[in-house]
């Protein structure tokens, strides 16, 4: 877990699962794998097992220990909907998120079909609570089916993380999408992000009235290229869930957007 996350669109990370396996081009240079494998074989380290899949029951109650409300990125170091994770364990994660509702949870996956089916099963006659935001990662046109799967999921807030963006996405269907994040790849093998790809997405979001967040150009390090697009910093985010409006809660990631 990490409070005060360096990720611009969240406040903290919560990893009841660590480790994953690759499913598409966006996974090729995975930052989480690169970080975790540095510690493989070091006894007692949380990543002693490297990036092998591991479930952490001891971390399930972490959100309850954080008294100040936060935006929490769920599973920054893995994928909650990996095929080797049981529905029973996913149930425990969702039960925690439902119970500790002073936080906003940002659940992001590349396993869009499984997330869709899980949400349909858990919320058969309604939608997921509005403080649980559900999103999919999309890196190029070959995996745009993830957007369609997300649109079919009974989520109150649906978001797209187009990072690392590896190609143009000129004709996305943004119906029912609440937020779009765009970012370039970072690390020693970062693939370049073309400005025209970002402009196309920004303009689609503007036309569909969807908040647009430009996270980074990327490069050797996440901050290397900055995050200005044509001299502008784009910090769009969805509004607070209605039941939190006027509650006195403040969320640093929202407050910093100005």
What number of helices (H) and strands (E) belong to the chain?
7, 11
Selecting from 1.10.10, 3.30.70, 3.20.20, 1.25.40, what CATH number does the domain 13-255 have? 3.20.20
- Compute the half-sphere exposure of residue 212: CA atoms within 13 Å on the CB side of its CA: 21
Residues 173/205, Cβ–Cβ less than 8 Å: no
**Per-residue pLDDT, 213:** 98
Which residues in the chain belong to E strands, given as ranges?
12-14, 17-18, 54-55, 71-74, 104-109, 132-137, 157-162, 179-183, 212-216, 228-229, 232-233
Q: What is the pLDDT along the chain (258 residues), one digit of tens a residue?
A: 567 788 999 999 999 999 999 999 999 999 999 999 999 999 999 999 999 999 999 999 999 999 999 999 999 999 999 999 999 999 999 999 999 999 999 999 999 999 999 999 999 989 999 999 999 999 999 999 999 999 999 999 999 999 999 999 999 999 999 999 999 999 999 999 999 999 999 999 999 999 999 999 999 999 999 999 999 999 999 998 888 887 777 788 887 664
- Give the residue carrying structure tokens 């044509």: 230
**Per-residue pLDDT, 246:** 73
**Per-residue pLDDT, 1:** 55
The reply to whether the predicted model has a pTM over 0.85 is yes
- Least Cα distance to 254 among 219, 223, 211 occurs for 211
Domain ranges of the chain: 13-255
Per the rule left: phi > 0, alpha: psi between -120 and 50, beta: everything else, 28 is: alpha
Question: In Å, how far are 47, 49, 139, 237, 250 from 71, measured between CA atoms?
Answer: 24, 28, 23, 12, 10
Q: Write out the two tokens for 119.
A: 């949400």
């Amino acid at each position: 877990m990490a409070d005060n996350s360096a990720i611009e669109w969240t406040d903290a990370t919560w990893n009841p699962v660590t480790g994953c396996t690759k499913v598409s081009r966006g996974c090729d240079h995975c930052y989480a794998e690169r970080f975790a494998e540095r510690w493989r074989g070091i006894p007692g380290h949380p990543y002693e097992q490297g990036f092998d899949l591991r479930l952490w029951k001891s971390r399930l109650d972490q959100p309850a220990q954080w008294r100040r409300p936060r935006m929490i990125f769920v599973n920054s170091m893995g994928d909650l909907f990996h095929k080797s994770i049981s529905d029973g364990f996913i149930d425990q994660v969702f039960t925690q998120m439902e119970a500790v509702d002073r936080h906003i949870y940002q659940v992001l996956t590349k396993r869009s079909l499984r997330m869709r089916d899980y949400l349909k099963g858990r919320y058969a006659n309604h939608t997921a609570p509005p403080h649980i935001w559900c999103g999919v990662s999309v890196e190029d046109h070959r995996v745009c089916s993830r957007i369609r799967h997300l649109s079919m999921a009974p989520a109150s807030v649906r978001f797209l993380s187009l990072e690392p963006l590896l190609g143009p996405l000129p004709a996305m269907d943004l119906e029912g999408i609440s937020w779009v994040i765009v970012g370039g790849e970072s690390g020693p093998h970062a693939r370049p992000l073309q400005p025209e790809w970002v402009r196309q997405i920004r303009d689609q979001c503007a036309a569909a009235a969807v908040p647009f967040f430009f996270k980074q150009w990327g490069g050797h390090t996440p901050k290397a290229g900055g995050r200005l697009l044509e001299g502008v910093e784009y910090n769009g985010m969805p509004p607070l869930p209605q039941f939190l409006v006027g509650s006195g809660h403040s969320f640093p990631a929202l407050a910093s957007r100005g």
